[in-house]
């Protein structure tokens, strides 16, 4: 069966479209079918570059995986043995730390040896290895230490602990959802995955968003949570005034409550429809979702973003 490359809006896709048009093309069009062993080498390389992570991004991936495993274990009781990430669903702090370390250690080894490329869809590949960057053992140890520190923060976090004891009310944990916004020619398909959503026992929901990085902009977080609110109202029938969104930063051990009401939800809807219209207008053939590379320009030479772009080799900016 021939899989179609569909135009589906997501928060990350919307941001990518504005960060660099050429990187957007590489990430959503150029890589297509690069997973196939018979793909042309240039396409295969774009696929591998699309899959690359960095220590900073990967810290978040591992910590999110531990949070997901811990919450799913609470939901399913003792029968959960593993998650799609391969992390054991654990309860004690020590078990969580060990699971995180096992996953992290395997990721580093698999990437350093290049073995990840044989199963790039499932395995972790680091830009640090792919681009042969000078990263010392101490740098890797610091990344492992940061993961461990954030797992300890997660375990001690009051919201995480609250989720564990209210597991019967949890509605979603990291499920990839797809839903439609608008109708007619402006209709947009949307992907999202909520870190955790729990019923508040009074007809509303609390949406939890784990953050693990050092620099998260409030406006970006608010926009993302607005999309979650749109999903909750439109697809789950939650009243607009019964949604609470919590952003928990596990790096800084802080939390913040964000308003998600009618105005935030309307803004999210508008952002999706406007963003989708922009993406469509960049296509050669909207019905077939065909995009011509030459319609997606590079950033000016010397742009700081290029130095950390996953596609810098294929882009000629290595």
The reply to whether 315 sits near ligand SF4 by the rule CB under 6 A is yes
Rounded to whole angstroms, the Cα distance separating 136 from 36 reads 33
Footprint of ligand SF4 on 141-200 (CB under 6 A): none
Of the candidates 93, 105, 12, the one whose C-alpha atom is nearest the C-alpha of residue 50 is 12
Number of residues binding to ligand SF4, judged by CB under 6 A: 14
The reply to whether 317 sits near ligand SF4 by the rule CB under 6 A is yes
Would you list the DSSP string of 265-300? HHHHHHHHHHHHHHHHHT-SBTTTTB--GGGSPPPP
Among 169, 171, 177, 312, binds ligand SF4 (CB under 6 A): 312
Stretch in the footprint of ligand SF4 (CB under 6 A) among 90-98, 138-146, 147-155, 298-306: 298-306
Among 66, 143, 173, 306, binds ligand SF4 (CB under 6 A): 306
Among 18, 109, 257, 305, binds ligand SF4 (CB under 6 A): 305
Dihedral angle sign, alpha carbons of residues 211, 215, 218, 224 = negative
The reply to whether 309 sits near ligand SF4 by the rule CB under 6 A is yes
Footprint of ligand SF4 on 201-220 (CB under 6 A): none
Rounded to whole angstroms, the Cα distance separating 173 from 176 reads 9
The pairing of beta strand 188-193 with beta strand 254-259 = unpaired
| 13 to 52: interface string for ligand SF4, x by CB under 6 A | -------x-xx--x--------------------------
- Find the shortest distance in angstroms from Cβ 54 to ligand SF4: 14
Q: Kindly give, in sequence order, each residue whose CB lies less than 8 Å from that of residue 193, ignoring residues fewer than 6 positions away.
A: 174, 175, 176, 177
CB of 109 or CB of 305, closer to ligand SF4: 305
CB 276, CB 9: distance < 8 Å: yes
CB 163, CB 73: distance < 8 Å: no
- Find the shortest distance in angstroms from Cβ 31 to ligand SF4: 12
Binding region for ligand SF4 (CB under 6 A): 20, 22-23, 26, 298-299, 303, 305-306, 309, 311-312, 315, 317
């Amino acid at each position: 069966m021939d899989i179609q490359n569909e135009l589906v809006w997501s928060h990350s896709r919307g941001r990518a479209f504005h960060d660099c048009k050429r990187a957007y093309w590489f990430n959503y069009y150029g890589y297509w079918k690069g997973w196939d062993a018979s793909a042309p080498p240039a396409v295969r390389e774009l696929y591998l570059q699309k899959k690359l992570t960095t220590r900073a991004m990967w810290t978040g991936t591992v910590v999110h995986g531990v949070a997901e495993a811990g919450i799913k274990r609470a939901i399913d009781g003792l029968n959960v043995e593993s998650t799609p990430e391969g992390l054991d669903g654990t309860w004690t702090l020590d078990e969580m730390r060990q699971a995180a370390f096992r996953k992290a250690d395997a990721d580093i080894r698999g990437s350093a040896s290049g073995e990840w490329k044989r199963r790039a869809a499932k395995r972790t590949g680091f830009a640090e290895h792919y681009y042969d960057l000078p990263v010392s053992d101490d740098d890797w140890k610091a990344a492992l230490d940061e993961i461990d520190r954030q797992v300890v923060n997660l375990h001690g976090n009051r919201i995480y602990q609250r989720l564990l004891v209210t597991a019967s009310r949890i509605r979603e944990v990291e499920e990839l959802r797809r839903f439609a916004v608008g109708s007619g020619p402006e209709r947009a398909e949307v992907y999202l995955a909520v870190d955790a959503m729990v019923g508040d026992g009074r007809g509303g929901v609390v949406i939890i968003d784990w953050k693990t990085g050092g620099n998260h902009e409030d406006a970006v977080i608010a926009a993302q949570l607005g999309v979650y609110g749109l999903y909750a109202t439109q697809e789950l029938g939650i009243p607009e005034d019964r949604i609470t969104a919590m952003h928990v930063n596990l790096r800084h051990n802080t939390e913040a409550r964000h308003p998600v009401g009618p105005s935030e939800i309307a803004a999210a809807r508008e952002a999706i429809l406007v963003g989708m219209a922009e993406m469509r207008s960049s296509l050669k053939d909207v019905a077939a979702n065909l995009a011509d590379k030459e319609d997606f320009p590079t950033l000016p030479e010397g742009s700081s973003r290029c130095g950390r772009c996953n596609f810098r080799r294929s882009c000629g900016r290595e």
